[in-house]
Amino acid sequence: MDDVTTDLLIIGAGPTGLYAAYYAGFRGMSVTVVDSLPELGGQITAMYPEKAILDVAGFPSIKGRDLVEGLVAQAATASPTYLLDRTATTLEHGEDQVVVTLDDGTTVTARAVLITSGIGKFSPRPLPAGDGWVGRGMEFFVPSFAPYAGKDVVIVGGGDSAFDWAQHLEPVASTVTLVHRREAFRAHERTVAEVRASSVEIITSAQVTELRGDAHLEEVEITVDGQEPRVVPAQALVAALGFIADLGAIQRWGLVTEKRHVVVDSSMRTNLPRVFAAGDITDYPGKVRLIAVGFGEAATAVNNAAVVLDPSAHVFPGHSSEG
């Protein structure tokens, strides 16, 4: 890959990064987008393409893959250069530019950088009883519901992902059993109520203590606190125990971080010159981590970056409908 020169380098091709690419084009910037994943869409494409997303303005409900498709089409108006399946490793400042080197040796010289890499690289938290079962009936996320049709499915976890997948798999699978180690759940109350009202069996104060089967999963042992273990049929198990986030090389760039998030001000500026951040990776007082919030932060970051690139420009660009 030839080295790249661009007005704005966006690190992260999830929803916030894709919207930022569109908005940068709207402000007349040339745009380059880098992502460590081989496809656009970030975590949504990798983990939740079939998930119904309910908090995007204008869409009462939209599937993850459909949201990404729309964002990619919108970003295309900026004619962005995509550098996928590669990771930003180093960042250095020049007098009026930032130079970012990727893990394949490509150098991107940008007049400003916008970091929209979500939680960074992520790896699933392991299920202690699941060692050796990945690909044999156990998975960590559900990119498609069709493979679970007619199966007995056990989901382990008590967060949003566990309940979302339980809700979506309930009409597809033969049975769905949700196992959580505590009585309380971290998932959204509305989703918990809907799952409770469905045919999903919820077992709390419990752990999956053994997976059984020959070549493929056949049954799961569940142990409830103070009770004898119980065995249920299961041809599929989803370990929705969350993910361990790692900002990777970004942590070595000199950015001020707080609990693995990049600290920004109200303009989405970081402590480094010409470097902005938006979306789930950012932290500031009152931060809310929603896709909808990321869109607004992307627009704020790009509009403030526009003034860095051209001091005679205005932060407020006028409304897009005025053109």
Q: 192, 216, 241: which is the final residue of a domain? A: 241
Q: Are the C-beta atoms of residues 98 and 274 closer than 8 Å to each other?
A: yes
pLDDT of residue 7: 98
pLDDT of residue 38: 85
Each residue's pLDDT, cut to its tens digit, for the chain (323 residues) gives: 689 999 999 999 999 999 999 999 999 999 999 998 888 998 888 777 778 888 899 999 999 999 999 999 999 999 999 999 899 999 999 889 999 999 999 999 999 999 999 877 667 889 999 999 999 999 988 888 999 999 999 999 999 889 999 999 999 999 999 999 999 999 989 999 999 999 999 999 999 999 999 999 999 999 999 999 999 999 999 999 987 777 889 999 999 999 889 999 999 999 999 999 999 999 999 999 999 999 999 999 999 999 999 999 999 987 776 65
Do 71 and 144 lie in one domain? The reply is: no
Do 37 and 131 lie in one domain? The reply is: no
Do 192 and 62 lie in one domain? The reply is: no
Q: Of 117, 126, 84, which Cα lies nearest the Cα of 249?
A: 117
pLDDT of residue 276: 98
pLDDT of residue 274: 98
Burial class of 294 by CB neighbour count within 10 A (0 to 12, 13 to 18, 19+): buried
Do 131 and 217 lie in one domain? The reply is: yes
Name the one residue in this structure whose structure tokens are 């040339």: 30
Do 252 and 234 lie in one domain? The reply is: no
Q: 183, 216, 241: which is the final residue of a domain? A: 241
Binding residues are 16, 35, 43, 48, 88, 122, 280, 321
Do 234 and 136 lie in one domain? The reply is: yes
How is residue 174 written in tokens? 């033969």
Binding residues for FAD are 16, 35, 43, 48, 88, 122, 280, 321
Structurally, the chain folds into a number of domains equal to 2
Task: Give me the CATH number covering residue 148.
Answer: 3.50.50.60
Do 251 and 118 lie in one domain? The reply is: yes
Do 14 and 113 lie in one domain? The reply is: yes
Do 270 and 132 lie in one domain? The reply is: no
Do 310 and 269 lie in one domain? The reply is: yes
Task: Please list the alpha-helical segments (H only) found in the chain.
Answer: 15-26, 42-47, 64-75, 160-169, 189-196, 291-309
| Domain membership of residue 91 as a residue range | 4-122+244-322
Q: What is the sign, positive or negative, of the torsion defined by CA atoms of 86, 90, 91, 94?
A: negative
CA distance 76 to 285: 33
Q: Of 125, 123, 122, 147, which Cα lies nearest the Cα of 137?
A: 147
Residues near 126 by beta carbon (within 8 Å), at least 6 away in sequence? 239, 241
Do 249 and 107 lie in one domain? The reply is: yes
pLDDT of residue 123: 74
Q: 223, 241, 259: which is the final residue of a domain? A: 241
Do 232 and 266 lie in one domain? The reply is: no
Burial class of 116 by CB neighbour count within 10 A (0 to 12, 13 to 18, 19+): buried
